[in-house]
Chains A and B, each alone.
Chain A
Amino acid sequence: MDLARLPNDKKLQLCRWYFKVGCLLLPFVWAVNAIWFFKEAFMKPPYDEQKQIKKYVLMSAVGAIAWIAVFAIWITVFQLQRVSWGATGDALSFIVPLGRA
């Protein structure tokens, strides 16, 4: 879809919709939203709906980054500590590695 062909209110509607969908625990939708509408929000000359689009883009970006941070921390902790967690570590694992602790 080419944003250039959409009228401004449709752009706002799309950006809002993506933000709302992302609230359903979908950080990737937020990330897409932030990147896709970035040009519209910050690099195009101002127009009416741009302020609200900016707001949604920022919120999506912040949300996506927060999710990424949480995932990164959890993944790091899990990878480093799984062995020392013993039975709990195995219970949390979907695929337990063969041949090593």
Chain B
Amino acid sequence: MASFNFLILLLIFSFCRSGNLQRLHEKIYSSIEGGAACFRRLNGTHQTGCSSADNGAVGVVHMIKDVTDAHWLMENATAGPYMAVVSTGLFYDVFDLLFKQPDLIAGILLYDNATKSAPQFSQDMSCPNDYSAAEGSSCSAGGVVWNPKGTGLLRRDIPFPIFYLPESRSQEIDKIDECYQRYNSDKNNQKGRPLCSVQLHSFMFAAVNTEVCLRRSASSALLTPTKVCDPLGDYNVYYSLFPRTKDIKNKKVTLVTARIDTASLFDGVSPGAASSVVGMVTLLTAATTLSKMIPIQDANLYDENILWTLFNGEAFDYIGSQRVAYDISKGTWPAAAPLTVDDINLHVEIGQIGGALTKLDLAWPLYAFIPYTNVVPEINEFVNTLGSNLQHNISINTEFSSHFPPSSLHSFRRILKNETESAALPEVLITDHNAEFSNFFYNSALDGFDKIDFEYRNITVDSSGTFISTDALLANGTMKEVDTQVKIARLATAVARTMYQRVAGKPYSGNITASAHLVDEILYCFLRSQACRLIMAADYASSGGAEEKPPERAAPLYVGVATWASTPPVFAAHLLALLTGTALSANRTQCDALDVPGFSQYWLRGWNHSGVCMQTTMNISAAISPAFIIEDYDLKSGVYSTWTESVWQAMWARVFVRASGAGAGAAAAAGAGATLLAALLTYWLQRHAAIIFSNAPQHSIVNDDAASGILRTVNC
């Protein structure tokens, strides 16, 4: 058919019907580019997310500009399934209505409009990760609802496809609106008219739940089974201040953790600025600063080690932290020098701290959630030290509550129950809210850099990798105290100093601080563009010198499927190696051949892009839920995270005009009539041919004897 169509293309439209050489297909359909589709995820008991039918979902366009439009759709619409086109600002007010009658809605096209921006937009549950919460800490036990404006669509089985168009694709919405004004605007007379329609295609292969889809992926009557779903998972990144090996008696460890991932309903759009990036950047900056305060050569002077860890997959029932807690309980993490629960004497999690960052307010109030009823001296000491290290505009207040926000603490509480509850492993969570989230865009497609008031300063970094100090930047006016970068740098400095005091036993008296310049660069890399200075310097150096530039957009922070490593943990790992590691004077082959216990060596591009061998204690470990590694695990039991993502082939959207049926009706009538007439005439003329064609010119066939002679001898 393809070659046939090519022949047609070459021949037909140059001859017969249309006036110009544009393909008919292009005149009918207009593709909607740049949309991100909502896709299907499954857990042990349910399927969530959206899917369309195999040949797409077609609906008549209905532009919802305010709530009355949505009411009209529900009550007075007549012309068949509709495609609701609604802006993010209005979505929270109308989504309830749209879900009431799923037969009437063929799909939703969600678009971002800068002029009518949403005051809140979160698709996560009002109580995120509630089913994996620690005992006594879920919302059903009473207490604060963390994300009250969350629609919960992330965990809901949506019966139709939803596509999201960012602000940069506003011309697609204009196209649809123009078509709508021409054909659909007469709302009361829509039936029986040609109508502007949209088709969304996002067919998902998996269904029912994780158990069924994994079973179907594994077995099949055909030789090679079709994979229909993949488990979610990726990598956790960890880095210790001092090296840890199996043989040497290791020091006690303070575990400082943060989350690296975020979630969103739509494929490829998960910026996570306030939900997770600020926490992660704080951890990275604090780790870098501490590594400068305490050089790694002084390891044997101290008794305490700091293990900075970034968990991945936290948005989906704490995949990363559940795995680490499970591994610790089995004594297999970190792989090179495993920890036991007794080795950890404090767990600090830097939770969601990006929601209240604004240039309009100098103050940045933080809270320390302490989930213990009795006083825990370790935690008190930590919070006091942190408080004393913070500047006056950043404050920290304690919250004693057994009901604490979503964080990795829940995983440790569930899996290492005895130690955490008895405070043998004391835990504390730092957040910027003590009741509801201050971030109204938690785990959504709109949680971008503008929500944390981030303005990139684009200051060059010299070839030695020195970053300008925060005080210098404030002094020459490049940054102000209200800037996000400065606030994060101040917090990172305080955390680093507090950790210094834990390690060294005395307050820090030097003048090393976290640089807001560094914070600026890291935020840019994770929120704006992967083609940034830090990542270019921290990347693996390519052998031929040909530098492959990463794309100019931010990498999505979604944890993704376990079979495909996503970029953010790789970036974080390389940044840690570059910023905290020691540069060795080795060439590439020597670097690759080195094997020092407690360290890894990486050949990175370096600040002058000529390659450098960095020795670091950084490493990565698999962030795959224990549910997928325990043999014969009951996926319905709910003990560990069981999230999987469906496989799909293509996602696309297009807009066109749907016929009213008058043309087809006319063709059918005319066709039936013409065929009938032809049948009658032909039959009649043939039957009476002798009479009718009586004047026919007769044949005078010269009997070609030669021909007849040959033919008569042949027996056909």
Contact = CB atoms under 8 A, between A and B. Distances in A.
A/B touching: CB–CB < 8 A: yes
Interface of A: 86-87, 90-91, 93-96, 98-101
B215 interface: yes
Nearest to A100: B207
Contacts of A86: 212
Nearest to A86: B212
A27 B222 CA distance: 27
Interface stretch (B198-206, B357-365, B464-472, B582-590): B198-206
Interface of B: 51, 54, 203-208, 212, 215-216, 219-222, 226, 228
A99 B206 contact: yes
Contacts of A94: 221-222
Contact of A99 (B203, B220, B221, B222): B203
B421 to A, nearest CB: 38
A86 B211 CA distance: 10
Nearest to B209: A101
22 contacts: A86-B212, A87-B215, A90-B212, A90-B216, A90-B219, A91-B219, A94-B221, A94-B222, A95-B221, A96-B216, A96-B220, A98-B203, A98-B205, A98-B207, A98-B226, A99-B204, A99-B205, A99-B206, A100-B207, A101-B207, A101-B208, A101-B212
Given A94-B221, A101-B212, 16 more contacts: A90-B215, A90-B216, A91-B219, A93-B221, A95-B221, A95-B222, A96-B216, A98-B203, A98-B205, A98-B207, A98-B228, A99-B51, A99-B54, A100-B207, A101-B207, A101-B208
A42 B220 CA distance: 49
Given A93-B221, A94-B221, A99 B212 contact: no
Nearest to A92: B221
Contacts of B51: 99
A96 B226 CA distance: 10
A86 B213 CA distance: 11
A98 B229 CA distance: 11
Contacts of A101: 207-208, 212
Nearest to B47: A101
Q: Is the interface of B mostly helix, strand, loop or mixed?
A: loop
Contacts of B221: 93-95
B207 A99 contact: yes
Contacts of B226: 98
The 10 closest A-B pairs by CB, nearest first: A98-B205, A94-B221, A100-B207, A101-B208, A99-B204, A96-B216, A101-B207, A99-B207, A99-B205, A99-B51
Nearest to A96: B216
A100 B222 CA distance: 19
B215 to A, nearest CB: 6
Contacts of B228: 98
Which of A87, A94, A96 has the most B CB atoms < 10 Å from its CB? A96
A100 B206 CA distance: 7
Nearest to A87: B215
Contacts of A91: 219
A21 to B, nearest CB: 29
A95 B208 CA distance: 17
Which of A94, A98, A100 has the most B CB atoms < 10 Å from its CB? A98
A94 to B, nearest CB: 5
A86 B212 CA distance: 8
B180 to A, nearest CB: 30
A48 to B, nearest CB: 36
A53 B527 CA distance: 85
Contacts of B219: 90-91
B7 to A, nearest CB: 33
B206 to A, nearest CB: 7
Which of A87, A91, A95, A99 has the most B CB atoms < 10 Å from its CB? A99
Contacts of A98: 54, 203, 205, 207, 226, 228
A94 B221 CA distance: 5
A87 B212 CA distance: 8
Contacts of A87: 215
A93 B226 CA distance: 14
Contacts of A100: 207
Contacts of A90: 212, 215-216, 219
Contacts of B205: 98-99
A51 B205 CA distance: 58
A93 to B, nearest CB: 7
A64 B215 CA distance: 38
B53 to A, nearest CB: 8
A96 B203 CA distance: 15
A101 B209 CA distance: 9
Contacts of A95: 221-222
A79 to B, nearest CB: 17
A91 B220 CA distance: 8
A98 B225 CA distance: 12
A73 B203 CA distance: 32
Nearest to B649: A98
A31 B205 CA distance: 40
A96 B208 CA distance: 13
Nearest to B225: A96
A1 B551 CA distance: 72
Nearest to B51: A99
A82 to B, nearest CB: 12
A95 B115 CA distance: 50
Contacts of A96: 216, 220
Contacts of A93: 221
B118 to A, nearest CB: 31
B210 to A, nearest CB: 14
A91 B204 CA distance: 21
A98 B54 CA distance: 9
A99 B220 CA distance: 16
A66 B541 CA distance: 74
A64 B222 CA distance: 30
A45 B207 CA distance: 63
Nearest to A83: B208
B158 to A, nearest CB: 14
A73 to B, nearest CB: 22
A90 B205 CA distance: 15
Contacts of B207: 98-101
B690 to A, nearest CB: 33
A87 B216 CA distance: 9
Contacts of B208: 101
A87 B49 CA distance: 23
B45 to A, nearest CB: 14
A9 B247 CA distance: 96
A93 B216 CA distance: 11
Contacts of A99: 51, 54, 203-207
Contacts of B215: 87, 90
A46 to B, nearest CB: 38
A99 B40 CA distance: 10
A98 B216 CA distance: 10
A3 to B, nearest CB: 25
A95 B226 CA distance: 10
Contacts of B204: 99
Nearest to B647: A98
A34 to B, nearest CB: 33
Contacts of B216: 90, 96
A91 B219 CA distance: 8
